[in-house]
Amino acid sequence: MKRINRLMSFAIATCVAIGISTGGAMAQKRGGILKYIIPSNPPSADGHRETTFGTIHPFAQYYSVLIRINPSNPASTTDFRCDLCVGDVPKATNYGKRFTFKIRDDVKFHDGSKLTAKDIKASFDRIVNPPKGVLSARKAYFLMVDSISAPDDTTIVFDLKYPSGAFIPAVAMPYNFIYAKKLLDKDQHYYEKNVMGSGPFMFVEWQPGAFIKGKRNPNYYRKGQPYLDGTEAIFAKKQSINVQAIRGGRAYIQFRGFPPKSRDDLKKALGDKLTVQESDWNCVLMVTPNSKRKPFDDARVRRALSLAIDRWGGSKYLSKIAIVKTVGGVVFPGHPLAATKEELQKIPGFWPDIKQSRAEAKRLLKEAGVPEGFEFEFHNRGVDQPYKIVGTWLIDQWRQVGLKVKQRVQPSGPFYATLRKKKDFDVSMDFNCQSIVNPLLDVSKYLSSDVSGSSNGQYVDREVDEMFNKMNRSGDPVEQRKIMRAYETRVLDEKAWALPTLWWYRIIPHHAKVKGWKISPSHYLNLDLANVWLDE
């Protein structure tokens, strides 16, 4: 019944979204240059190679992708739509192991050449099986892919090794830019420094560290779009300059996010000239105990660390000063595979009664032989939002169960080296940030350390690995959800390998004249800007 209700509300939400977008189309104005800030500096223009939003924010607008999250309903985590394919996103055939996409035949690259299924095959080949010397940052997301073929110019077929619910979200990742085969054939590194796609905007100029300019693609295959004459992305890392640039009108929007204080300052300064969009964010800050170090090799101690954290209370106060808000488990809150509040509150550390939790934490610590006033080091990243703020809060939470915590803060480079390579930490801040919400793969963060490169707790738990494989090879959402609950219980309760704190919260204050853009649960999504227009 719950599932039917969920489907009904999803259908209603989709209808409303479509209604709004159709209605809104009447008022869309053409023209203008969208000036926006990117708090990063892209390493290269190659989406297949990079992992930073610094590449997506400036370059997504120049490329098409095979499928994507619905730009009119980006808040949805499951509403995938065709970009280059025709009709709906295809359903799997051949016992869930084959996906056949029919491709539009009216798409042209910016140089005027026709985009065909061969270009899509060449692009995905480069992502799934990169040639020697070519980096593909998302190869690991496509382990289920057996082969890719393009039987004709308008058909692309993906054959999988096993049925996988993670495949479609992986294809919808915004980094999967479609490149021209002829250019890749000449030079696999061409796209690192050059831009030539089929997206709504055409590349004009890129001055590293300063700006990127684009202009409208007059031959864009979605008739009438884009609405803007062009875009101007300005690179500015410092948060204060981001806020001031929006306040002073040097930029209209920044697509990553601002802390609550900046939102309030901008609102105060600009009043009704400012619109604010907010959303849960597909990033979670978590605590990773080093299970090779005593006493954190004891599940009771790890569970006690989790039980000491008042997530529900913390959410209320931290959300006023930091970019965190929502309490959730291992899956992005709101996704059909995520635990409901009732399910979550059964897991130690998520109980609604913090007094009871802390009493249990103290009992477990005593039982494990951890003395009152036990001192350990908490390793954290030297970034204010939200790491240092949440870190300070965590230290206070642990103090309340009699633990004494010293914080070691390191800049990003040394932080990663400690967390991933040297592993010389007691308990560390860790995080799981993804672009598309793809829980079946996103939870690979919690696999055994010898299986997942992003798992840092130094534990081996074959039961967790097995559940992950089973879940990923199941085509049935009901079964996936059932296994996910068992997986979550194992990771957060029985073994307490990792302790999610709070999920991030995305706040985008922008000039009210920026219309058509809708916030999504990730700062990597919905950035082709085709539906954005300026009300001026």
Residues engaged in binding other proteins (CB under 8 A): 41-44, 50-53, 133, 135-141, 192-193, 207-211, 234-238, 240-241, 244-245, 247-251, 269, 283, 411-418, 420-422, 431-435, 441, 444-445, 452-454
Query: Kindly report the CA angle at 441 between 188 and 197, in degrees rounded to 5?
Result: 30
Q: How far is the CB of 453 from other proteins (least distance, A)?
A: 5
SS3 362: helix
- How far is the first Cα of the chain from the last one, in angstroms, to the nearest whole number? 47
What's the closest the beta carbon of residue 265 comes to other proteins, in angstroms? 11
Residue 365 or 390: the one with the smaller Cβ distance to other proteins is 390
Rounded Cα gap, residues 397 and 456, in angstroms: 22
Q: Given the complex with other proteins, which of 397 and 435 has the nearer CB atom?
A: 435
Whole-number minimum distance, CB 41 to other proteins, in Å? 6
Three-state DSSP at 452 gives coil
Q: What is the CA radius of gyration of the chain?
A: 24
Provide the 3-class DSSP secondary structure of residue 132.
coil
Q: Over the range 107-119, which residues count as b (16 or more CB within 10 Å of their CB) and which as e?
A: bebbeeeebbbbb
Question: Could you tell me the smallest distance in angstroms from the CB atom of residue 270 to other proteins?
Answer: 8
- Distance in angstroms (rounded) separating the CA atoms of residues 533 and 367: 62
Q: Which is nearer to other proteins, 43 or 475 (CB)?
A: 43
Distance CA 90, CA 94 (A): 13
Tokens of 200: 């709504």
How many residues are present in the chain? 536
Report the nearest approach of other proteins to the CB of residue 263 (Å): 17
Cα–Cα distance for residue pair 185/17, rounded to 1 Å:
41
**Shortest reach from residue 366's CB to other proteins, in Å:** 35
Encoded tokens for 206: 């890129």
Report the distance separating Cα 67 and Cα 83, nearest Å.
5
Q: How far is the CB of 361 from other proteins (least distance, A)?
A: 28
Minimum CB distance to other proteins smaller for 87 or for 249: 249
CB 202 within 8 A of CB 528: no
DSSP 514: E
Nearer residue to other proteins within complex by CB, 60 or 308: 60
State which residue, 46 or 310, has the beta carbon closest to other proteins: 46
Tell me: cis bond preceding 386? Omega within 30 of 0 counts. Answer: yes
Closer to other proteins by Cβ: residue 92 or 441:
441
Helix axes 462-472, 477-489, angle to 10 degrees: 160
Smaller CB distance to other proteins: residue 42 or 521? 42
In angstroms, what is the minimal distance from the CB of 207 to other proteins? 6
Our CB check for other proteins shows the closer of 131 and 313 to be: 131
CB closer to other proteins out of 40 and 100: 40
233 beta partners: 36, 212
Least distance from C-beta 254 to other proteins, angstroms?
12
Q: Which candidate, 168, 163, 164, 190, places its Cα nearest to that of 179?
A: 190
Closest approach, Cβ 50 to other proteins, in A, equals 7
Report residue 174: phi and psi, to 5°.
-70, -10
By CB atoms closer than 10 A (0-12, 13-18, 19+), residue 443 is buried
